[in-house]
């Protein structure tokens, strides 16, 4: 069993599991392309330039080291951050988990959710993403950015909250 299945209780049902929208990975991919292009150009220059073999080796090693550091910092780290960020809706709660070294998470029981809203601008509407805003009984509203298909998630979450409230009212009678 993988995440989030291993975090659910025995009779809890998974409704939705999302990572942030792919738009969060556009800049890391651009950085990868630019870093790789720069490293290749530096290496080609060092092999063709009228410089000593030692200088060419130093330029090659420096270009490779800068490329590696840049790829780890500007590409690999954001990819790991994206892969370890989870927005999960079950029939009982909303879960949000993120972090690589230090994990952070929040669970919001369905019965405590008062308001569910979404917000997205023109670019977000084109990309079918946006911000989901959940207001619970005791806390300030929580904003979850870059949720894919935010309108669908909003209506799905609203239906889950409505179903939970219906179950509580029928259980009280």
**Per-residue confidence in pLDDT tens, the chain, 173 aa:** 467 778 888 889 999 999 999 999 999 999 999 999 999 999 888 888 788 888 888 988 999 999 999 999 999 999 999 999 999 999 999 999 999 999 999 999 998 999 999 999 999 999 999 999 999 877 689 999 999 999 999 999 999 888 776 666 655 44
Alpha-carbon torsion, ordered 10, 16, 19, 21, to 10 deg: -170
Q: Give the per-residue pLDDT at 29.
A: 97
Q: Give the per-residue pLDDT at 53.
A: 86
Give residue limits of the domains in the chain: 26-81, 96-172
Q: Give the per-residue pLDDT at 1.
A: 47
Q: Give the per-residue pLDDT at 48.
A: 83
Q: Give the per-residue pLDDT at 173.
A: 40
Q: In this structure, are residues 75 and 82 in contact, taking their beta carbons and an 8 Å threshold?
A: no
Tell the residue number behind the tokens 């509580």, with chain if given.
168
Cα–Cα distance between 84 and 94 in angstroms, integer? Answer: 16
Q: Give the per-residue pLDDT at 8.
A: 86
Cα–Cα distance between 62 and 45 in angstroms, integer? Answer: 13
Cα–Cα distance between 78 and 63 in angstroms, integer? Answer: 22
Q: First CA to last CA across the chain, in angstroms? A: 38
Residue 104, CA distances (Å) to 13, 80, 83, 99, 142 in order = 22, 15, 14, 6, 14
């Amino acid at each position: 069993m993988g995440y989030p299945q291993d975090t659910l209780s025995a009779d809890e049902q998974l409704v939705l599991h999302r990572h942030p929208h792919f738009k969060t990975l556009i800049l890391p991919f651009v950085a990868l392309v630019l870093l790789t292009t720069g490293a290749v150009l530096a290496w080609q220059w060092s092999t063709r330039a009228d410089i000593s073999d030692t200088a060419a080796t130093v330029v090659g090693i420096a270009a490779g080291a800068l490329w590696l550091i840049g790829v780890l910092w500007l590409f690999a780290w954001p990819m790991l951050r994206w892969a370890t960020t989870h927005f999960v809706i079950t029939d009982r709660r909303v879960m949000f988990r993120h972090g690589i070294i230090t994990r952070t998470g929040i669970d919001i029981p369905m019965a405590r959710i008062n308001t569910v809203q979404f917000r997205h601008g023109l670019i977000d509407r084109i990309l079918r993403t946006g911000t989901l805003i959940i207001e619970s009984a005791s806390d300030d509203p929580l904003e979850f950015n870059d949720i894919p298909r935010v309108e669908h998630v909003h209506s799905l979450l609203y239906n889950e909250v409505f179903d939970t409230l219906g179950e509580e009212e029928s259980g009280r009678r």
